[in-house]
Amino acid sequence: MRKLFDETRINRLALNNRFVRSATWEGMCEEDGRPTARLAAYYANLARGGAGLIITGYAFIRPDGKQLPGQMGIHDDSFAPPMRDLTAAVHGAGGKICLQMVHAGGQTSAKVIGTRPVAPSTLQTPQFPEEPAELSLQEIGNMVRLFGDAAARAKECDFDAVQLHAAHGYLINQFLSPLTNRRTDAYGGSIENRCRFLLECYASVRKGWVMNFRCWSSSMATITLPGG
Ligand SMILES: Cc1cc2nc3c(=O)[nH]c(=O)nc-3n(C[C@H](O)[C@H](O)[C@H](O)COP(=O)(O)O)c2cc1C
């Protein structure tokens, strides 16, 4: 029988044991999403404590996808040095680290992001009463590409895996749910249409991660893609 402390693998990703630290927002990044030495030390401590795999708190792929203070961002190439410090700290402590990627969609506020939140449809969510702007088809395409760019950036910064946050009412989840998706185009209506955004993000992330292909360079319902 397999035990918690046994070494294991997720595809090509070798783990010291089967303990996974679930994604948890720590609020330890700079205002713009840049990771700090404090966060690197925190993750290293978790790895030293025996977590085989650490999943980071949700990292926004575009500034308007941020939700909470101190949240990490994976939208900016200039964050590469502190990102690499963070992954090196975990690897140095014998652990592995997976980056969770998110866009908060309508579950944020103009106060946090400085612009009107975006969503599949102009429907408010209970805790975020601002009416979001509906994404156009072109904006959906851009968003899909940005998830892929974020994955490529994560790979370049030596993360071992990436995870798409498709739950908890954030943008991908808002496309999946008929409660927040009232679109009448190819991204709304049937379950196939409501899944389209998720599947396109997934394909884009695979391209970004596996082929290190960036569409453009800029500056559970979750899916994990192990490293390799
Ligand atoms: C403060 C806090 C922050 C969290 N941040 C995230 C997050 O960034 N991404 C995510 O997918 N889940 C997040 N979660 C959910 C946790 O990963 C976890 O699923 C939840 O706490 C339930 O875990 P449990 O069943 O072991 O209690 C967060 C939970 C808490 C309490």
3-state helix, strand, coil in the chain (%, to 5): 35, 15, 50
Query: pLDDT tens-digit profile of 167-191?
Result: 999 999 999 999 999 999 999 999 9
Closest listed residue to residue 162, CA positions, set 205, 198, 213, 220: 205
* Residue ID of nearest Cα to ligand 1 atom 25: 22
Percent of the chain at pLDDT exceeding 90? 89
- Is the model's pTM score more than 0.75? yes
Cβ(57) – ligand 1 distance below 6 Å: yes
Closest listed residue to residue 109, CA positions, set 117, 101, 99, 120: 117
* Residue ID of nearest Cα to ligand 1 atom 26: 22
Domain residue extents for the chain: 8-226
Eight-class DSSP state of 65:
G
Q: Which residue has the tokens 């991908």?
A: 172
Residues belonging to the active site? 170
Q: For all residues of the chain together, what is the average pLDDT?
A: 93
Check whether 213 has a pLDDT greater than 80: no
Cβ(201) – ligand 1 distance below 6 Å: no
d(CA 205, CA 226): 12
Measured in Å, residue 221 CA sits from the centre of ligand 1 at 13
Measured in Å, residue 24 CA sits from the centre of ligand 1 at 5
Architecture of domain 8-226: Alpha-Beta Barrel (3.20)
